[in-house]
Each structure stands twice: as C-alpha cells, then as structure tokens.
A and B are shown apart, each in its own frame.
Chain A
Amino acid sequence: MSETKFTVSTSPHIRDGENIPRIMWRVNLVLAPAAIIGIIFFGWPAAVMLALCIGGSVGAEALIRKLVRKKVTVGDGSAFLTGLLLAMCVSPMIVYPSSAVVQRYTPSLGSAIATVFAMNLYVPLLGAFFAIAFAKQMFGGLGNNIWNPALAGRAFMLAAYALLVTGVWPNIEKIKYPGREEVAATTGATIRAERKKLIALSRAGEGPFAPGAAAREEDAKADPTERMKEIDSMVIERKVADPKVKQNKWLWYGRLLIGYRDGSLGETCGLWLIIGGIILIALRYIDWRIPVFFIGTAVFLGWLLPVRVVGGTSPLWMAGDPLFELLSGGLLLGAFFMATDMVTSPITKKGKVIFGVGCGLLTALIRVYGGYPEGVCYAILLMNTAVPLIDRFTRPRVFGTGLEPSKQT
C-alpha cells in the first residue's frame, strides 16, 4: 500500500475553487454589455478602439512576460480587463478619420502607414502599452501594481495627446441609424465640459453672458440661482436636438442613464454599469462600500460645494444637480469597476470606506474647482497612491488584543 505516491503539503487540503482567471473573466463578462452598447451608439470607431486597447494590453503583457522569462499570464484575463477599461475611459473618436484621410487612401503600403498615423491608431496602442508595461509589469505584474493600470494608461494618453484625448468626442445627434453612414466626431465638448465652460463664462461675464451680448443686457446683476438654472438648460439646449427632450428634463436624465449622449464608452449606459456593479457585489468580487461611499460623496459634494456663478456675487451653495453629477462623466464606471480594483484598493472594510470617501471628495473638488471637467480618473489614481497608508491605519484589532479583561463578562 505504501507504493502509492502521496502529495505532501501543508493544510488546508481543500480549496473553495475561486481563482484569479475566473474572477477576471467574470468581471470582463459583466463589463462587456456596456462596451457593446457603446459600439451600438457610437459605431465602428468604438469597436476599433476596443480592439486596439485590448489587443495592445494583451500583446504588451505577453511580450513583457516573455522578455523577463516569466510565465505568460495573459490567460488570467487581467490584461484583457485593463484594455477593456482603457478603451471605455477615453473618447472612441480618437481613431475617427477626417474625410480627407479616407479620400486620399489608396491600397498601398505608404498609404496604409499614413492612414495609421492619420487615424491615430498608434495612440491607443501606446496607451495600452504604457498601462501594462509601466503601471503593471514594472512593479512585478498583477498584484504588485500601485495604480490601476487602465487609469494610468488614460492619464498617460491625456498627458501625451491632450488635445486629441480631450477635444474630440462622438456627436450622438449626428450618428445616423441603422447604417451609421456618418459617424460624426465633434470638436466640441462633453456635457460636463460644456457645463463647466458655461459656468466659467458666466463668472467672467463673457460669451453669451457678456453684458453687451444680444438679448441679455438686463442681467448684468443676475441672480446666481437663476443663472445656474439657465446654464443647466443651456447645456441641454446645446447638446440635444430633440425638442421633446429639451422640454422634459426627465427624458434628458433617461438619455444619460441609458448612455445616449456624447462621451466615452464608459459613460455609456449607466444603467448597465449599475446592474453590473450589483452583480459584482453579489458575487463578492467587489465590496459595496467603495462604490456607495464614492458615489455618495461625489454626488453630495457636487451638489453642495459653493460655486461662484456670477462675477461679483457670493458663491452659491447647494446649486449642483445631483442626478447630473451621478449620470454624467465617468463616475459610475470609476466607482463600480475601477476604484474597486482589488489590487489597488484597501484590503480592510474600514479602509474601503475611507478610500471611497476620498475618491468622492477628490472627484467633487476636481469637478467643481479643478481645471478638468471630470475628476474621477485622477481622484482614483491619487487615492490608489494613498492605499498603503490607509491600510496601515485601518488594521483590524487582532483577536484577543486591545480589550480590557474587566469588560469581558
């Protein structure tokens, strides 16, 4: 009987069956519908972006693991997830060609190369490479990275190609169905950027708010509350063509919820992002504390924080639009899918609350006072940096320590 060879290892000898590939691929699967809805709304550039970001991430991961002679870990789904998230947090219109490029195209190598550059196809590839190489593998691969790789990739693209990444967005109103003959990019702004710009103009008394501007001589000393309402409706006026939606604000919120608006893929379909987030919470892959405290803090402060709307008047408190804060921008994607990244968020429950509140606070500060219209990306990256510190100060009390014996009855 002793002929049998037994495996000798330390206990436990059974496992609950959970493993990293299963977690990562399931998260990919949960996120996929939002990306697919994005393709439906924004057309082929979205598909190209997804393919380039995912391909770039997976390729970079395989290449680097090979170079450092470590086990190639692309099968675990984490590089795929990084690519997917990266594609979802930048404008799909980065790869949208101007009509001139299309007209000039001839089937030749030179023309193909020129097209690659003209269509900026290398930009998402570089972003994905940076995300994997610098933000993930340089630290030793999955588990050792400090920052969320997809957000680091986005920050890189934002720094390196600022105009491209922030300046070109799909114009949902001009996309035609069902053939999408014309996928229109706009050099305009997202709804968040539009609102921010209008507030700045109002404060400075310029643009449509200039004292001399037509039809508004009367409001040089406008009531800030009224002005804020005016700005909110101007955003809708400028970004929506449908007169029904212009009249009914709830239809506008509905559009934001299903993702029918200008923006990145990750701003698309907030409804699915919420459903997906709930699925991940139910699967226990994410902790509810991070999204709840993140969203709660960002929306509350977005509504509360004082803004000077009209120059010369005192700042206006409680003037934000909570639903707008919730549904516009990358808050839902960031709160459910990026801040909750296991590797780059605190490990204790208390730490997760602090992390969520911190992300929400920074997001609101950047949104209301910062130079960018959206703050989710930098808020999460900054809080990622603070994770070791949070972990250190939120260590659980070890069983049998720190209790007074007399109190134990």
Chain B
Amino acid sequence: MAHAVAKSYGTLKTFPGGVHPSDRKELSRDCPIEDAPIPERVYIPLSQHIGAPCKPVVEKGDTVRMGQVVGEAGGFVSAPVHASVSGTVAGIEERIHIFGAKVPCVVIDNDGRDQWFEGCNQPVDYSDWDHDAIRGKVRQAGLAGMGGATFPTHVKFSPPPEKPIDTVIINGVECEPYLTCDYRLMLESPQRIIDGAEIILRAVRCNRCIIAVEANKPDAYEVMREYVSGHDKISVEMLEVKYPQGAEKQLIKALLGREVPSGGLPMDVGALVSNVGTTAAVYDAVALNKPLIERLCTVTGEGVERPSNFLARIGTPLTVLLEKTGMRPGAKKFILGGPMMGLAQFTTDLVVIKGTSGVLVLMEADSGEYENCIRCGRCVDACPTYLIPSELSILAEAGEWEAAKEKNVLDCIECGVCAYVCPARRPIVHLIKLAKAELLRMKKEFEAKKKAAEAKE
C-alpha cells in the first residue's frame, strides 16, 4: 500500500541498497499519544547517552523538583540528567542498563505534586539569543539524539568554523518497522517541530532546512507541508520507503547526494541531521525552558495486547508501561528500539531513558542456528555502506580482526540489512560488532602500552 501511495508522488529520492521489511506500523500508528502513568518512584540512570557518564549532584534525602539537575555532564561529549518528578532522593542505586552492565541511577520518590524547578516550563523570549546562547541552553537541557543513538545534541550544534552547515535535515523518516512515535509527533505537534527547526537553523547559522518523511506516512507529510507553507527556509521532502532510509548517512545521501566520509561526521559535508523528537525537544528546551525529562515511546509488537504511543517520564520503569498495555504470555523477545537495530533484553526490569524510542515485544525468536555463507551476495546488494558483509562475518568468525579492519569493518553502521536477508541466517551484525569491539580493545591496549613505554623514558 505504501508503494501505491508513493507512486502518486512521482519519483522519490532514496539511497542505494537497503531492504523492504514489512513495517508493521499498523499495530500502533492510529493510537494517539497518551500520558504514561507517572510512577511512585523513578530511576534516573547517570549514563543515558554516548560519551562520558554524569556525576551525581544530589544525595539521599535531598528534595528535588522537576527539571532540576541531578547529574552533571562529565565532559564536552556528555549531557546532564534531570529529575523527571518532584520528590525526595531515595539514594543512588546500581541498576541494570540496556547494554547489560549496571550503571548508577538516582532514585527519586515521587511526591505526586509535579512541581517544576524554578524558571522551568515558562515561556522564554529568545528572539535576541545568539547561537551560543541557544547551544548553551540545549546543553543545559540535557538533550541527546532521540532517534536512538543518543549523541549529545549540543555537540552537533557546535561545528568548527571551517565546517559550516548548509543544510539542516529534520529526520521524520522513522524507518524502523513497528515504531510510530515520530509519526504521531508529526501529526500531533507539527508546530513544535517547525519552531524547533527554526531554532536549530539559528544555532548553526544555516538557511536551509529539509524535513524528511517516508512515503508510508503520507498524512504526516501533508500535515508538515501545510505547516511549512509560506516558509522560505524550510521544505518537506517525501522519500521512498526503504530501510535504513532514516540512518543519518543514508538520509544525507538520499537528499543531498553527498557521502559522509569514512570515519567522518555529517558536518564534514555541511549537513546536520536532527530527529523530529529531538527537534521538538529543542523547542521545549529553548522556548519553554523545559529540560529533557520526558519522551515519546512506542510500546508495540505482536506480544503486546494494546500497542500504545506514550509520553513517558525519563526513569519510568518499563513494567509500568507494560502493565498499561498488557503483555501476552509466551513472548519470546523483549527489545528496546526497533526490530532492525534494537537491543534485546533479558529482563523487563529497566527504565525509560533518553534513547528509548520503542519497547517491542515479539512472539518469535531465532533458534540461533546458522550455516556456512553460500556467497549468494544478497547482503552485498543490500548493504547501504557498500561493504561485503558476508566476508566480514567470515573474517570475524576466524578472529581475523586486522583483516576485517582492512576491509572497512569500522564503516559498518550496523543497520542489520545483511543479517535480515541472509538465507544462511548468519549473525552477521553480531560478528561485525564483535570485530569492532576487539579492534577497540586492541587499540586501547596499544595506546596503554605506548603510554607505559613513554612513562619509562
């Protein structure tokens, strides 16, 4: 159906490679955003983003209010975390994080009054703010990419002078199957996205903005177009339905025809990509002085009885959401994020964090058995990075990390299309991640040795 819709819009832009999984968005696409239950107790992990973890700035017994900083950024590539309810700090507790290891969390007992920290949640006149002021506010608000990668947003907003941004891309593609919270956001809060986009344009001193929507969301496309009409800097572009259309590098390739250099960042080709959720959060942070204390999260999958799109406070236990939606008995997989790149969890005892775009419960799981690569080449045709994934998986299986590095394993974006199409059901992404982790370990060891040798001299 999506393709039929796409056809009526003529030739749509896209990137080379990719796959067409069934998008399964029908489970939750018509569920309006609803406020998730606010729990008695929230757990705010001190590490929710890529980069250095936060340092706690509250102690047991402290009274905190909504939007108050409870963890300070641990470096430039880091973002502070805030209290998402008002109440009393019950302590700092180690809890299991989405990557399986334990991280310290600030535990807050909710007093149920939802009192904001002073100055928060009030309209701000930012009309005379310069880009530094905007960046500073975005940093204070603890923004991190909400598409799932959680890269601290203010870092993106700080390109060096020799790398000017000429195009800001607002990513409303949401190419992961099942997930619908970006779609609901575009339908329900288009003005926040557009205002957020304007703020970003000012922050990076850029005059062109493209809002990208995939062709399976024609109504979101129409709504966004309606809201940008008459706007001279912002336009809306519909893209072909294909996974991973929403991956940063593929999106830039599709819209601008530019390739982010190997090992580089979008700013190297003059682009900045911001997810629609992050863009709305930029607006909230700058115009309303609202730090990032809540986010949209789709709870869906065949294993969920009533799929929903929630607005949930950061630190809400996922069990609270699942009680609301119901979970079918015999569910086999519990995933944070989408089915292509999400992280499978062994427990539901986790909380909503800045990057929790979706909670997915599936009734089926792979046996994990796989065969030799039969060199069918399906992964080569699908790879949006033009790698030879089959070969990388074989090298990783043999522990040939250096050889894998020579064959550009570090360029892999882990989108998962190779394993998705593999008829031998090889765990290609797993093996590639393993190779990357080993290469990182080797690099660290090498640097440590070098340091030790230098210290001796």
> Which parts of B333-387 form the interface with A (CB within 8 Å)?
333-335, 337, 339-349, 360, 362, 365-366, 368, 371-378, 380-381, 384-387
* Chain A nearest CB, measured from B148 CB (Å): 11
Across the interface, A399 reaches (CB within 8 A) one of B411, B414, B416, namely B411
Q: Does A274 contact B (CB under 8 A)?
A: no
With an 8 A cutoff between CB atoms, is A218 at the interface? no
Q: What residue in chain B is nearest A19 (Cβ atoms)?
A: B423
Whole-angstrom CA separation of A405 from B260 in the bound complex: 9
CB pair B344 A11 closer than 8 Å: yes
Summed over the interface, the residue pairs from A and B with CB atoms below 8 Å come to a total of 179
> A22–B391 Cα gap in the complex (Å)?
23
Chain B: which residue is nearest A22 at the CB level? B423
Inter-subunit contact A20/B258 (CB<8 Å): no
* CB of A121 closer than 8 Å to a CB of B: no
Contact status A396-B386, CB under 8 Å: yes
Residue of B nearest to A7 (CB): B365
Report Cα–Cα, A269/B214, bound state, in Å: 47
Q: How far is the CA of A193 from the CA of B118 in the complex (A)?
A: 96
Closest Cβ of chain B: how far from A318's Cβ, in Å? 36
Pick the contact of A398 from B342, B343, B385, B425 — CB < 8 Å?
A: B385
- Residues of B235-277 whose CB lies within 8 A of A: 249, 253, 257-264, 268-269
**Residue among A19, A20, A348, A398 with max Cβ neighbours from chain B (10 Å):** A398
Judge if A347 is at the interface, Cβ distance under 8 Å: yes
Q: Is A287 an interface residue (CB 8 A)?
A: yes
A69 at the interface (CB under 8 A from B): no
- B423 adjacent to A20 (CB under 8 Å): yes
Closest B residue to A352 using CB positions: B377
Query: Contacts A6-B331, A397-B386, A403-B261: A12 and B341 contacting too (C-beta < 8 A)?
Result: yes
Say yes or no for B408: interface residue by CB 8 A criterion: yes
Q: Does A343 contact B (CB under 8 A)?
A: yes
B333 touches A7 (CB 8 A): yes
* Candidate in A10, A20, A408 with the most chain B CB atoms within 10 angstroms: A10
A10 nearest CB neighbor, chain B only: B430
Does residue A278 face the partner (Cβ distance < 8 Å to B)?
Answer: no
- Indicate if B51 sits at the interface (CB-CB under 8 A): no
CB-CB contacts of B418-445 with A at 8 A, as 1s and 0s?
0111111101011001000000000000
Binding-face segment, A97-105, A137-145, A155-163 = A137-145
B212 within 8 Å of A by Cβ?
A: no
How many residues of A are in contact with the other chain, CB < 8 A? 47
In the complex, the answer to whether B374 meets A342 with C-beta atoms within 8 Å is: yes
Bound Cα distance A341, B302 (Å): 38
**Is B164 in contact with chain A by the CB < 8 A criterion?**
no
Q: Taking CB as reference atom, which chain A residue is nearest B332?
A: A7
Q: Considering residues A12, A19, A344, which has the most beta carbons from chain B within 10 angstroms of its beta carbon?
A: A12
Which of B340, B373, B391, B411 makes the CB contact (< 8 A) with A143?
B373
Q: CB distance B375 to A408 under 8 Å?
A: no
Alpha-carbon separation in the docked complex, A408 to B269 (Å): 8
Do A348 and B380 touch across chains, with their CB atoms under 8 A apart?
A: yes
State the CA gap A98–B313 with chains docked (Å): 87
Which B residues, 31 to 49, have Cβ-Cβ distances below 8 Å to chain A?
none
B331 & A4 in contact (Cβ 8 Å cutoff): yes
Contact indicator B421/A18 (Cβ below 8 Å): yes
Check B21 against A16 for contact (C-beta < 8 Å): yes
What is the minimal beta-carbon distance from A335 to any residue of chain B, in angstroms?
18
Q: Are B388 and A395 in contact (CB under 8 A)?
A: yes
User: Would you call A14 an interface residue if the criterion is a C-beta within 8 Å of the partner chain's C-beta atoms?
Assistant: yes
A342 nearest CB across to chain B (Å): 4
A400 at interface by CB-CB < 8 Å: yes
Interface residues on B, range: 35 or more
B293 at the A interface (CB under 8 A): no
Which of the residues B264, B348, B368, B373 comes within 8 Å of A9, measured between beta carbons? Answer: B368
Residues on A with beta carbons closer than 8 Å to the beta carbon of B424? 19-20, 143
Q: Does B170 contact A (CB under 8 A)?
A: no
CB distance from B299 to the nearest CB of A (A): 13
Contact yes or no, B371 A2, CB < 8 A: no
Bound CA span A408–B373, Å: 36
Least distance between A7 CB and chain B CB atoms (Å): 4
Partner of B366, one of A7, A22, A285, A343: A7
Interface status of B319 (Cβ within 8 A of chain A): yes
Please state if A400 and B344 are interface contacts (CB–CB under 8 Å).
no
CB-CB under 8 A from A6, the residues of chain B are: 331-334, 344-347, 365
Selected from A18, A20, A398, the residue in CB contact (under 8 A) with B408 is A398
B5-43: CB near A (< 8 Å → 1, else 0) gives 000000000000001010000000000000000000000
Q: Which of A319-363 contact B (CB under 8 A)?
A: 342-345, 347-349
* Contact call A23/B423, Cβ cutoff below 8 A: yes
Known: A12-B340, A14-B340, A15-B366. A20 touches B374 (CB 8 A): yes
Q: How far is the CA of A172 from the CA of B430 in the complex (A)?
A: 57
CA distance A23 to B422 in the complex (A): 12
27 A-B pairs within 8 Å (CB atoms) are namely A2-B347, A2-B348, A4-B327, A4-B348, A7-B333, A8-B346, A9-B366, A10-B433, A11-B335, A12-B340, A12-B417, A12-B419, A12-B420, A13-B340, A13-B344, A15-B419, A18-B421, A20-B424, A23-B423, A142-B371, A143-B374, A342-B374, A342-B377, A348-B377, A348-B380, A398-B408, A408-B257
Q: Which 6 A-B pairs have the closest CB atoms?
A: A143-B372, A12-B416, A10-B430, A7-B365, A400-B262, A399-B385
Which residues of B are in contact with A by a Cβ distance under 8 Å? 19, 21, 177, 249, 253, 257-264, 268-269, 319, 322, 327, 329-335, 337, 339-349, 360, 362, 365-366, 368, 371-378, 380-381, 384-388, 390-391, 407-408, 411, 414, 416-417, 419-425, 427, 429-430, 433
